């Protein structure tokens, strides 16, 4: 008698999609769905909560780049859904013996039900996804995209304003190398009436492929940042980190300095929020942390319920989410 291996679970797509690789994978309605389910999960995602939605399933976490929030919140999200997590560490793995990342990913697929992958090479996560049958979530691929970051950024904005339309968003800093702003501009561009101002030093423009009709770029001397923000009157200031790790080693960064501090807060509207994907280095002064408009850590907290929603959807559990 032949064993009949059941591969049906690998057909656990969400709306015909196996993977979440970038914001173009999601329609406006699907983003709204993620936000709706995240909101339903929020009261159930407190520390100590445990749901049974992903019981018996294993998430494999493979990060070829450093991470604090993404790796930890995906693990916490999977545990809260009742599933398990296996973390792959490159250091000490057979990559040190010369095994390729492709063979590594194809091997990891054998042990889990979904993969969450970060890699420094743009497009690499899509390439890995094409090699495996299980869902793959892009946790950041070089200077390309970070879609789950954009989803929880959008959830944070929705929680604050009750809408994702007709907003004025200033995205500030080194946009050329910053993947969360690529994904955020793409995501917010799907919603009506938004105006996104990219405020960056010359040479650090948003790459054209992430731009859309909502986006207007203002290349400025960053010493004038506060004056520009005062004129724009944004609802959201989204601050980015200068990703030196992706910049040519000899690039002169002295003209790239910018900081959001108490002087910046003084020119912003009273209901304007300041966001940052974190980690921050020097671009947000800690002196603003006590201002209730600085919501970076509340934003980080939202990664939990949004990643729970994403994992449940891409593991084929939308019916369970509908019952929440
Ligand atoms: N925002 C973010 O992706 O943080 P980590 O790099 O710490 O995961």
- 324 residues of the chain, pLDDT tens digit each: 455 444 444 546 899 999 999 999 999 999 999 999 999 999 998 777 789 999 999 999 999 999 999 999 999 999 999 999 999 999 999 999 999 999 999 999 999 999 999 999 999 999 999 999 999 999 999 999 999 999 999 999 999 999 999 999 999 999 999 999 999 999 999 999 999 999 999 999 999 999 999 999 999 999 999 999 999 999 999 999 999 999 998 888 888 999 999 999 999 999 999 999 999 999 999 999 999 999 999 999 999 999 999 999 999 999 999 999
Query: Which 3 state secondary structure label does DSSP give 259?
Result: coil
In a domain, 69, yes or no: yes
Pick from 64, 67, 301, 304 the residue to mutate for probing ligand 1's pocket: most ligand atoms within 8 Å of its CB. Answer: 67
Can you give the CATH number for the domain in which 314 is found? 3.40.50.1370
Q: Whose CA is nearest to atom 6 of ligand 1?
A: 67
Same-domain status, 166 and 135: no
Instruction: Please indicate, yes or no, whether residues 136 and 268 belong to a single structural domain of this protein.
Output: no
Please give the C-alpha separations between residue 189 and each of 28, 91, 186, 286, in angstroms, as whole numbers: 9, 39, 5, 31
Q: Is residue 124 part of a domain?
A: yes
Residues 251 and 187 in one domain: yes
pTM: 0.95
Pocket of ligand 1 (CB under 6 A): 67-70, 140, 149, 277-279
Please indicate, yes or no, whether residues 123 and 166 belong to a single structural domain of this protein.
no
186 with 129, same domain: the answer is: no
Residue 2 lies in a domain: no
Residue to mutate (ligand 1; options 62, 278, 299, 303; most atoms within 8 A of CB): 278
User: What confidence score (pLDDT) does residue 255 get?
Assistant: 84
The number of folded domains in the chain is 2
**Do 188 and 109 belong together in one domain?**
no
Report residue 233 as tokens: 């009157």
Q: Does any domain span residue 155? A: yes
152 and 285 in one domain?
Answer: yes
CA distance 56 to 192: 41
Cα separation, 144 vs 180, whole angstroms: 9
Residues 203 and 87 in one domain: no
One domain, residues 133 and 174: no
Same domain, 135 and 184: no
Same domain flag for 309 and 290: no
Of 228, 119, 222, the C-alpha closest to 179 is 119
Q: Is 151 helix (H, G, I), strand (E, B) or coil?
A: helix
Look at ligand 1, atom 4, and give the residue with the nearest C-alpha. Answer: 69
Q: Residue 265: give the domain boundaries.
A: 147-300
Which of the residues 70, 80, 104, 156 is marked catalytic? 70
Does 93 map to a domain?
A: yes
Q: Is residue 1 part of a domain?
A: no
Q: Are residues 204 and 244 in the same domain?
A: yes
Across the beta sheet with 84-88, the strand order is 84-88, 58-63, 114-119, 136-141
127 is catalytic: no
Nearest CA to ligand 1 atom 3: 70
Q: Distance, CA 323 to ligand 1 centroid (Å)? A: 31
């Amino acid at each position: 008698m032949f064993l009949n291996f059941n591969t049906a679970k690998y057909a656990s797509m969400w709306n015909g999609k196996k993977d979440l690789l970038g914001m173009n994978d999601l329609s406006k309605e699907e983003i709204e769905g993620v936000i709706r389910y995240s909101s339903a999960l929020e009261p159930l995602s407190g520390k100590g909560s445990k749901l049974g939605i992903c019981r018996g399933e294993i998430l494999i976490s493979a990060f070829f780049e450093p991470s604090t929030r993404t790796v930890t919140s995906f693990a916490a999200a999977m545990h809260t859904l009742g599933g398990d997590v296996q973390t792959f560490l490159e250091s000490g793995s057979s990559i040190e013996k010369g095994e390729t990342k492709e063979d590594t990913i194809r091997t990891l697929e054998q042990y889990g039900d979904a993969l969450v992958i970060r890699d420094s090479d743009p497009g690499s996560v899509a390439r890995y996804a094409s090699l495996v049958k299980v869902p793959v979530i892009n946790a950041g691929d070089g200077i390309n995209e970070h879609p789950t970051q954009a989803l929880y950024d959008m959830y944070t904005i929705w929680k604050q304003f009750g809408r994702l339309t007709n907003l004025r968003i200033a995205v500030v800093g080194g946009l050329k190398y910053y993947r969360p702003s690529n994904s955020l501009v793409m995501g917010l561009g799907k919603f009506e009436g938004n105006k996104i101002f990219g405020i960056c030093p010359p040479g650090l423009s948003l790459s054209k492929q992430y731009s859309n009709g909502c986006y207007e770029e203002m290349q400025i001397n960053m010493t004038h940042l506060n004056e520009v923000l005062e004129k724009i009157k944004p609802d959201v200031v989204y601050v980015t980190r200068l990703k030196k790790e992706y910049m040519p080693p000899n690039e002169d960064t002295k003209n790239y300095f910018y900081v959001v501090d108490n002087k910046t807060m003084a020119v912003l509207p009273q209901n304007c929020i300041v966001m940052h994907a974190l980690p921050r280095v020097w671009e947000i002064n800690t002196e603003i942390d006590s201002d209730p408009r600085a919501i970076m850590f509340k934003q980080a907290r939202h990664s939990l319920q949004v990643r729970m929603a994403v994992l449940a959807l891409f593991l084929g559990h939308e019916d369970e989410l509908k019952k929440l």
